[in-house]
Amino acid sequence: MEKILLNDLLHIDEDLVRIKFNNYNGTDDPLDVYKVAPEQINDGWFLWYKYKGRHYFPDIDKLAICLVSLGGDLWLLTTVKRIKKILPNVKDGVGYEADEIEAYKKYYGRIIVKYHRSSRTVVTFFDKVKDELEVVEILNSQYIGDEFPGYDNVRLSYDQLANVINRHSGGWFGALNNQKAVYLITDRNNGKLYVGSATADNGMLWSRWSAYIANGHGGNKELVAIVNDASKGFDYVKKNFQYTILENFNSKVDDSYILQREAWWKKVLCSKEFGYNDN
């Protein structure tokens, strides 16, 4: 069967088009970054100025293509931009102004290509590799990360939870939407805990956690105080809070039992004495 190449979809026929392969930089995995904040890849990693006096994208008004490693020989197309300006005197930061190509927007975060990178070269000319960039999958929606890992393995930062909620991840939504639970919020800055419950009365786990993403506190008194504190605010929640599941139950379990288990965990974890629970 004849291969479908990336350029069969993009139809790029310009010269001096460059393509950048973003992978682990020794500190961070760009895929982990992309799952939480795609703009940090498309506006940050992609447009980073290359040190030692060299530019990744030295030609003004030329296209640049961004791929992020999915592991092995698989890469995710995240954006295509036109370089509009080289920023002066950049030593360690974003070195370019660029405009995203709107015509390709439907492909961003959805096209997975196979390409074996035989060298450590980060940026190369598209013409050199375009006949090797095979499209192996087009996702139904923008890539948002791993599938639901199971109730016993949920441990999300605020940004990760917001990513799941805001993009309405199918696997996560199906797992949480009709699920009752006792959950834990951890303040990673000071170790304080908040034990909460998701019942039919407050909209099940998906709805309950959606409230935290919307305002940071979900209506809980001690958490409201943090968000309203001028020295902390919503940004404090976004930076420090972590969300996990202590126990999960199907929708048929009586709410009164969920509340009993919530009370039990408050006692076990001393979240009233030393945490954010006030009752």
Q: What confidence tens digit (pLDDT) does each residue in 131-161 have? A: 999 999 998 777 877 678 889 989 888 888 8
Among residues 109, 110, 112, 42, the alpha carbon closest in space to that of 72 is found at: 112
Average pLDDT, integer, range 10-25: 93
As a three-state string, the secondary structure of the chain is CCCCEHHHHHCCCCCCCEEEEECCCCCCCHHHHHHHCHHHHHHHHCCECCCCCCCCCCCCCCEEEEEEEEECCEEEEEEEEEEEEECCCCCCCECEEEEECHHHHHHCCCEEEECCCCCCCCEEEHHHHHHHCEEEEECCCCCCCCCCCCHHHCEEEHHHHHHHHHCCCHHHHHHHCCEEEEEEEEECCCCCEEEEEECHHHCHHHHHHHHHHHHCCCCCHHHHHHHHCCCCHHHHHHHHEEEEEEEEEECCCCHHHHHHHHHHHHHHHCCCCCCCCCC
Residue showing tokens 């379990």: 253
The full set of domain ranges for the chain reads 6-138, 151-269
Q: What's the pLDDT score for residue 52?
A: 64
8 within 8 A of 53, measured Cβ to Cβ: no
Tell me the backbone φ, ψ of residue 71, rounded to 5 degrees: 105, 140
Q: What's the pLDDT score for residue 232?
A: 95
pLDDT > 90 fraction of the chain, expressed in percent and rounded: 68
Q: What confidence tens digit (pLDDT) does each residue in 265-274 have? A: 999 999 999 9
pLDDT at 167 exceeding the cut of 90 = no
pLDDT > 70 fraction of the chain, expressed in percent and rounded: 98
Q: What's the pLDDT score for residue 153?
A: 85
Distance CA 200, CA 179 (A): 9
Fold held by 151-269: GIY-YIG endonuclease (3.40.1440)
Distance CA 137, CA 77 (A): 11
Look at 216 and 88; give whichever has higher pLDDT.
216
Q: Which residues contact 191 (CB under 8 A, 6 or more apart)?
A: none
Average pLDDT, integer, range 3-16: 96
Q: What's the pLDDT score for residue 53?
A: 62
Average pLDDT, integer, range 6-13: 96
Q: What confidence tens digit (pLDDT) does each residue in 181-231 have? A: 999 999 999 999 999 999 998 789 999 999 999 999 999 999 999 999 999
Q: What's the pLDDT score for residue 164?
A: 85
Average pLDDT, integer, range 5-9: 96
Average pLDDT, integer, range 69-80: 94
Burial of 6 (0-12, 13-18, 19+ CB in 10 A): buried
